[in-house]
Amino acid sequence: MRKQILTANKLPQSIPPPAIPANLLRRHDFVYERPPSSWHSCVPLANGFIGAALWGDGRTLKISLDKYDVWETRFAEFDDRIHNFDYLHNLRKAGQEDKLQEGMDAIKNSRVGPGPTKLPVGTLEIAFAKTAPAFTGRLKLAQALFDGPLASVFVCRQKNVVALKFKTGIRACGMRLVTVAGNIKSADARKAAATLKSWGYPLPEEGRRRAVSYVRQSCPQGLEYTVAWLTDRTRGELFIAIVSSNDAPDTLSAAMRLLEETRNTGWSALLKEHVRQWKSYWAKSWISIPDGRLENLYYAELYKLGCSSRPGSLPATLQALWTYPEGMPPWRGEYALNMNVQESYWPVYASNHLECGEPLYEIFFKNLPFNKAMGRKFYGKDVPLIFSASGPGGEPCYGWVAVTMSPGGGAWLSHHYWLHWLYSRDAVFLRTRAFPFMRECLNVYMHIAEKSADGAYHIPFCNTPEYFGGKTTAWSDDNTYDLDLARFLAQALLEAEAELGIQDPLHRAWEDFRDHLTPCHQDEREGLMLAKGIPLATSHRHHSHLMGLYPLGTLRPDRSPEEKALVEKSIRTIERLGTGYWVGWSWPWASLIAGRAGCREAALAYLQTYVDAFISDNTFHVNGDEKHKGFSRSHYGGGGPVTLEAGFAYAAAVLELLLQSQGGVIRLFPGAMHWPDASFDNLRAEGAFLVSAVKRAGAIQWMRIHSEKGGLCRIADPFDPKGGIRHIRTQAGKTYTLGKVGRLAPVSKFDRRTNWFGTKNIARF
C-alpha cells in the first residue's frame, strides 16, 4: 500500500457548481413523433408535490393529475391478543401449521374494507377542433417543459400548479375533469368506483365560481381535495391547481386564490423561475458515456428523481406522482420497504442529489412514535414495527404477513440514513436522525434474538422477502437477509458512537451482539443460502441473500480469499438458475451486485437487458417482460403495472460503473472497461468528496477531488500500475487534482443516435 500526502492546488477554496455542458440534455429529451395514446407512454411532469401525465389520442389532450397526500389512510388494527410475534412463533415451533396459517390469513384479511391506498385524483380532458394539430412534441429535460404544436406545459416548480399555454390559433372547445369516483367508464374505473362507494366515498362535487371550474372530493377519513382550473382566453393560458385539506381547510377557496395569484404572475414569469430552479438541479453533476441509449435513460431517471422527491414533501411511492388514473393503483401505491423504496433512493448519493433523500428520512423518522405503538402490540415491547408495506403515516397495508411484519423493512430503510451520513459527513444528521433511527431498528433484532448454548445469537421467525409468498414456509430462522442487516446495524451504531464521541448505555450489548451473531449459512458448492436449511433452489426476483454485497457492503470479495470464494460461488448459483422468474427491478439490482463482485461484463449486460425488455416508450418500468423478448417468464398483461424503483436503481447502477467508494476507497471507472472514453463531473463519494474524472482512449487522464469536510481521502490510484492506494489528507473546502489536468467535456466518440424515448413512428427498442 503506497501512501502519499498531497497539498491543495491553487483552485479556489469552494468550486462553483458545474455547468452542465450545452446540448448534453437536449439529446436526451423525450421526442413524441406521434400522440402518446396510452397512459403508459405519457409525458411525465411533476414538481415533487403534484404531478401531471400528458397523453391522448391526438384530438383530446388528457392531463392525469396527482398529489402525494391524496391517500385513503384508514386501516383495521390486528388483534394483538393472538396476532403477535410470540403467539405466531410458538405455533410454528409447535408444528401447528394450520393454526399458523389461520393466524396469518386473519391478519392479511384485516385489509377487507377501507385500507391504506394512494388515490387517483382525476384527469382533465381537453377537446380540440378537428383542424388542431396532433398532440406531439418534445419533453425538454433541461426545463422540465413539454413543448409541441398544440401547447407548452410544465408543472410549476414553485407552486402546486400545472401551467399550459396554447399555441397561436389553438383553442380548446371543451374541458372536463373525469374521476374514477365519478365519470370514467373503463372497466378498471368501474371497479374502483364500486370500491370507493363501498368505503363511503360520495360522488365528487362539480361546479364553477366566477371564472374557475372545479371538482371537489370529500373523503370519509376527513381528507378533502379540490382540482380547479382557470382559463385566460386572451393570453391562451390554462392553469390547474390541486389543493388538499393538508394545505388549507377550505380547499376550494385556497385553490381559487392560488389560481388568481398564478394568473397575475403570468405564464412567462412562472416559467422563468421554474427553469431557474431546474437549472440549479441539473448543475449538481453530469456524466458522459459512449452509449447513447444507456446515457439517455440515466438522464431520464435523474429527471424523474427531481420530479419525485423534494425537501418538504413526501417520499416517492411506487408510482411517485404518476398514479394510474383509471383505477386503483397497483399494490396500492404503497411505501414498500422490502425493496421498492430502497431502490428508489439508491441514486441520490453518487449523483450528488442528497437533497432528494430528505423526504425519506424525515417522514419515516416522524412516523417512529406510531411504529413503536404498533411494536408494543406485535412484539410486546417498546420497539418499532415498521410495516414493510405502509401508507404515509406508517399505516399498515396488510398483505403477506411474513413480509409486512418483517423487521427487515425498517432495518433496510435505516441503511439509507447511514448512507446519507457516509456521503455527507453531516454530524448533526448523524446525531439527530441516523443514530436514533438505527438504534430503534437494532432494538427489534436484539429483542427477538435468541442466544444458544455456545453463546451465538440467532434471529428466529423472520422472512426472506417475497420467497414463499403468504405460506407458513415464508417464516425461517437465521435468514441471510436479517443476519446481514442486524450485523450492519450493530457495526454502524458502534462507528457512529465513535464519530459522535459518545457511549450509548447499550454499547456493550451491541458489541456482544455483533461479535457473537451467527454467521450466514452457506452451502459448500452453492454459496450463500437464503436461511438455515434453505438453499437458493430456483430462479427468483429478489436478491436479498446477496444484499451483503449490495447495498450493505458487509460482504467484500477484496477483503479475504474466503469472502472472494463465497461471492464467486453465490454468483455462479444465480447464473446457473437463470433469470426466468426475475422482474424488471431485479436487473438493475443484479447489475449492482455483479459490479461489487467484480463481474463487470454482467454488470453492463444486465442494464442493457433492462432497457431492452422492461420499460415502456417513456421509460416507465412495467415489471414484466411485456415485449416477450424471452428474458423472463413474468408477464402481467395490459402494458404491465408501472412502478418506478427499477429506473432509479438503474441510474445508481450506471453511476457504479463510473465511480465506487464503498469502504471509503474511491475507484474510478470500475465497470467501464467497454467504454474507452467516459467522463463525469461532481459525482459524490463517501467522505463528502466531489469527484470529477476523464477517461480517453482507454486510459484515465486526470481526476479532481473537492473535499467538503476535510479528512483522509483514499483512492485506488489510477496511475499506479501495481494498483496501490493513494492517501490524501484533505482540508475542508479545498480541491486536489491527480494527473495532467485537461478539458472536462462529454465524450466525443459518441453513439450518434439520440432522443431514444417518447412515442416514435417506428419503434426504436
Q: Please tell me the class of the 33-72+114-282 domain.
A: mainly beta
Query: Is the model's pLDDT at 19 over the cut of 50?
Result: yes
Residues 137-151: tens digit of each pLDDT: 999 999 999 999 999
Mean pLDDT, residues 19-42: 92
Q: What is the DSSP track for 202-246?
A: PPPEEEEETTEEEEEEE-TTS-EEEEEEEEETTTTEEEEEEEETT
Q: Where are the domains of the chain?
A: 33-72+114-282
Half-sphere exposure of 362 (CA within 13 A, CB side): 13
Of the pLDDT bands very low, low, confident and very high (cuts 50, 70, 90), residue 181 is confident
Query: Is the model's pLDDT at 8 over the cut of 70?
Result: no
Of the pLDDT bands very low, low, confident and very high (cuts 50, 70, 90), residue 513 is very high
Task: Output phi, psi for 688, to 5 deg.
Answer: 65, 45
Query: Is the model's pLDDT at 293 over the cut of 90?
Result: yes
Q: Which residues contact 532 (CB under 8 A, 6 or more apart)?
A: 476, 477, 478, 479, 521
Of the pLDDT bands very low, low, confident and very high (cuts 50, 70, 90), residue 251 is very high
**H-helix or E-strand spanning residue 126:** strand 122-128
Mean pLDDT, residues 293-301: 97
pLDDT value of position 21: 81
pLDDT value of position 7: 38
Cell of 711: 479528512
End-to-end CA distance of the chain: 46
Q: Could you give the CA distance from residue 313 to residue 320 in angstroms, rounded to a whole number?
A: 12
Of the pLDDT bands very low, low, confident and very high (cuts 50, 70, 90), residue 753 is confident
pLDDT value of position 612: 96
pLDDT value of position 9: 43
Query: Is the model's pLDDT at 611 over the cut of 70?
Result: yes
Share of the chain above pLDDT 70, in %: 97
Mean pLDDT, residues 320-347: 96
pLDDT value of position 763: 81
Cell of 539: 430462479
pLDDT value of position 385: 97
Mean of the per-residue pLDDT values of the chain: 94
In this prediction the pTM is: 0.96
pLDDT value of position 186: 82
pLDDT value of position 11: 38
Q: Could you give the CA distance from residue 294 to residue 609 in angstroms, rounded to a whole number?
A: 11
pLDDT value of position 111: 67
CB-based contact 171:159 (threshold 8 Å): no
User: By three-state DSSP, how is residue 292 classified?
Assistant: helix
Mean pLDDT, residues 2-23: 51
Residues 669-714: tens digit of each pLDDT: 999 988 999 999 999 999 999 999 999 999 999 999 999 999 999 9
Mean pLDDT, residues 194-220: 95
Mean pLDDT, residues 352-370: 98
SS (H, E, C) 138-177: EEECCCCEEECCCEEEEECCCCCEEEEEECCCCCEEEEEE
